[in-house]
Structure 1
Amino acid sequence: MLLHEKIKAIRNFKGIKQKPIADALNMTVQSYSYKERGKRSITTNELELIAKQLEVPISIFFEDNFNVKFNEIVPKQAI
């Protein structure tokens, strides 16, 4: 799964709309949507803000065995 796909999956799983994330990034929903669809790159600073908005550690985006439900329910320390 690619970075932008993981971001979208987590956002959808948590029931968060694009607008609060776009607001935190100081951009329009349309601009954020391009990033979430992989049409525009995501900077490190943007990824940090996205992780904060989604209330997840930034490392979750780089896990090879990414599973939205598994990562949400089971804390990393319990694995």
Structure 2
Amino acid sequence: MQLHDKIKRIRKDKKLSQEDLAHELGLDQSQYSRREKGEIPFVPNEILKISKVLKTSVAFLFGEETTNKNVSIDEKLIQQYELRIKEKEEMITLLKSKIKL
């Protein structure tokens, strides 16, 4: 995904208008629109401002950083699952020892 496409997607996800970002960059909406369409490239200073407004990193905008929220949730679920299995095995061992008595 190109930079301008990613900025557009994030802007829409955050329910911001082109006018909102244009204002932050000191541009007219039409000037901003041309950048978001990829007709004019964003300059570095604009990219920095956009990352702050969109509350994301420049690395993420350039595709060098991904959000792995699902991975961390999956890891937590796996840890909880393994803990429950260990607790179950300990309970089985305890109950077996009580049956023998």
**Normalising by the residue count of structure 1, what TM-score does the alignment of the two structures yield?**
0.79
Q: In the alignment, residue 31 of structure 2 is paired with which amino acid?
A: S
Taking every aligned residue pair, what percent have the same amino acid on both sides?
A: 32
| Aligned residue-pair number | 72
CA distance in 1, matches of 2:3, 2:63: 10
Higher helix share: 2
**How well do the aligned residues superpose, as a CA RMSD in angstroms?**
2.4
Alignment of 1:1-79 (within 5 A): 1-63=1-63, 71=67, 74=69, 78=72
Give the structure with higher Rg (CA): 2
Higher relative contact order (CA 8 A, sep 6+): 1
Runs of 4+ in 1 over 4 A off after TM superposition: none
CA deviations 1:27-73 (Å, max 9, x no partner) are 1000000000001011010000011111111111122686xxxx3x8
Give the Cα–Cα distance (whole angstroms) in 1 for the partners of residues 16 and 69 of structure 2. Answer: 20
TM-score, L = length of structure 2: 0.63
Mapped partners of 2:19, 2:26: distance in 1: 10
Query: What stretches of structure 2 of length at least 5 have no aligned partner?
Result: 74-101
Letter in 2 for 1:74: K
Q: Distance in 2 between matches of 1:56 and 1:2?
A: 16
In the TM superposition, what whole-angstrom CA distance separates every residue of 1:10-31 from its partner, at most 9, and x where no partner exists?
0111111111210111010000
**AA matched with 2:69:** V
Alpha-carbon distance in structure 1 between the residues aligned to 2:64 and 2:58: 14
